[in-house]
């Protein structure tokens, strides 16, 4: 008998028109664990999903899409800081707005990032000079095999650039159920990036930083409600000082950001742009015209179309610069996540 899946186009911001065998919405830890254990008994794969804004579905998903919708926000305060405890299912941008509306500053540079709060620590979301690790106090997760809760301090989360322990030791069989934030009452604006550098650090308000970040993002990044995309498709590559020096000899204008480790971060968008690929189309997939690091769904693209374009872009950059880009986006096949670099190699 033919099995028809449930469409999930609306559950991934790339707008890839695939199906899952079943969709389950979990509003409590009990529901999360019950769904996961039932699926395991039936040998069905499970994929936890927040806003679907950092995933690329390569084909129909053969298992259960488990939507994490654990809600609730509570605030406590002490002399120096506000402590915010947010359910993993809370919309990230709404949480940023919620805190700002109540005079609690600190999340404004991270405005307008799509997705849910529980996903934010996984790749240590970052934008405009701030990464989540700067404001994270702890992350609560649950072991789906036995329902046991665990709280990791920010230090235990091993945050790095687009990285954390949730992509490694706690990648499989765990769900993030809540995130704790600490927002210092003595607010210091971070004005190191783009148009923010034009603001006066002595007079600027958190709301102005928020507005400026939103304006910069709207000018460059496509709105997933209009054009399917998952933000930056690749990570900015970290290269050795030698590789960076060599590149800068040939391209002195190349954006580069020395890291405390001695490595240098290059701008993947610039590398792709130098290959003259802005606006480049391959089938129904395209490189965004205003930001070369963003790949877009030009209409009816399949996951395979996006991956084929990513493979082409990656080769062009490697041929010109001998730098191999790695996807930031997580690749999902029928049985679950697959190694994205492997798919593109």
Applying CB under 6 A, which residues contact ligand FAD? 13, 47-55, 68, 88, 113-116, 118-120, 122-123, 125-127, 175-176, 221, 224, 229-231, 330, 337
Cα–Cα distance, 259 to 59 (Å, whole number):
37
Contacting ligand EPU within 185-224 (CB under 6 A): 193, 220
Nearer residue to ligand FAD within complex by CB, 232 or 321? 232
Alpha helices in 19-124 (DSSP H): 29-41, 92-101
Closest distance to ligand EPU from the beta carbon of 331 (Å): 15
Phi, psi at 253, each rounded to 5°? -85, 0
Tell how far CA 268 is from the center of its chain. Answer: 16
Nearer residue to ligand FAD within complex by CB, 118 or 303? 118
Cα–Cα distance, 228 to 16 (Å, whole number):
8
CA atoms within 13 A on the CB side of 100: 19
Nearer residue to ligand FAD within complex by CB, 55 or 285? 55
Closest distance to ligand FAD from the beta carbon of 176 (Å): 4
Active-site annotation holds for 162 = yes
Active-site annotation holds for 74 = no
Nearer residue to ligand FAD within complex by CB, 93 or 314? 93
19 binds, among ligand FAD, ligand EPU, none (CB under 5 to 8 A by kind): none
Please tell me whether residue 177 binds ligand EPU under the rule CB under 6 A: no
CB 136 within 8 A of CB 121: yes
- Select from 317, 343, 304 the least CA-distant residue to 254: 317
96 three-state secondary structure: helix
Closest distance to ligand FAD from the beta carbon of 304 (Å): 19
DSSP calls for 240-270? -HHHHHHHHHH-TT--EEE-TTS-EEE-HHH
Residue selected from 7, 72, 255, 299 as contacting ligand EPU according to rule CB under 6 A: 255
Residue 161 CB coordination number (10 Å): 14
Enter the tokens of residue 127: 């934008």
Please tell me whether residue 124 binds ligand EPU under the rule CB under 6 A: no
Catalytic pick from 53, 162, 164, 314? 162
Please tell me whether residue 128 binds ligand EPU under the rule CB under 6 A: yes
| Residues annotated as catalytic (active site), given as ranges | 162, 232, 328
Binding site for ligand EPU (CB under 6 A): 127-128, 193, 220, 231-232, 235-236, 255, 267, 269-270, 273, 278, 291-293, 328
């Amino acid at each position: 008998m033919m099995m028809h899946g449930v469409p999930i186009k609306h559950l991934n911001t790339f707008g890839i028109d695939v199906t899952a065998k079943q969709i389950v919405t979990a509003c409590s830890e009990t529901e999360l664990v019950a769904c996961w254990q039932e699926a395991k008994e039936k040998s069905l794969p499970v994929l936890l999903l927040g806003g679907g804004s950092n995933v690329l579905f390569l084909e129909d998903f053969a298992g259960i899409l488990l939507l994490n919708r654990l809600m609730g926000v509570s605030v406590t305060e002490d002399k120096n800081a506000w402590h915010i405890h947010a359910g993993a299912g809370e919309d990230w941008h709404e949480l940023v707005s919620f805190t700002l509306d109540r005079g609690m500053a600190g999340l404004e540079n991270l405005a307008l990032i799509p997705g849910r709060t529980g996903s934010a620590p996984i790749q240590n979301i970052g934008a405009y000079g701030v990464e989540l690790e700067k404001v994270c106090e702890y992350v609560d997760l649950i072991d789906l095999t036995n329902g046991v809760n665990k709280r990791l301090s920010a230090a235990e989360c091993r945050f790095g650039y687009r990285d954390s322990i949730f992509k490694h030791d706690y990648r499989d069989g765990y769900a993030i159920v809540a995130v704790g934030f600490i927002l210092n009452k003595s607010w210091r604006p971070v004005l190191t990036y783009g148009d923010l550098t034009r603001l006066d650090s002595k007079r600027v308000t958190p709301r102005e930083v928020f507005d400026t970040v939103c304006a910069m993002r709207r000018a460059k990044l496509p709105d997933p409600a209009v054009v399917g995309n998952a933000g930056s498709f690749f990570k900015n590559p970290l290269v050795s000082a030698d590789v960076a020096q060599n590149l800068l000899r040939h391209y002195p204008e190349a954006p580069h950001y020395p890291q405390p480790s001695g490595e240098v971060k290059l701008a993947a968008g610039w590398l792709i742009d130098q290959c003259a690929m802005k606006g480049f189309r391959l089938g129904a997939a395209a490189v965004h015209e205003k930001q070369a690091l963003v790949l877009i769904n030009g209409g009816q693209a399949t996951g395979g179309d996006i991956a084929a374009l990513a493979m082409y872009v990656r080769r062009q950059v490697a041929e010109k610069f001998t730098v191999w880009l790695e996807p930031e986006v997580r690749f999902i096949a029928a049985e679950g996540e697959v190694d994205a670099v492997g798919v593109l190699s």
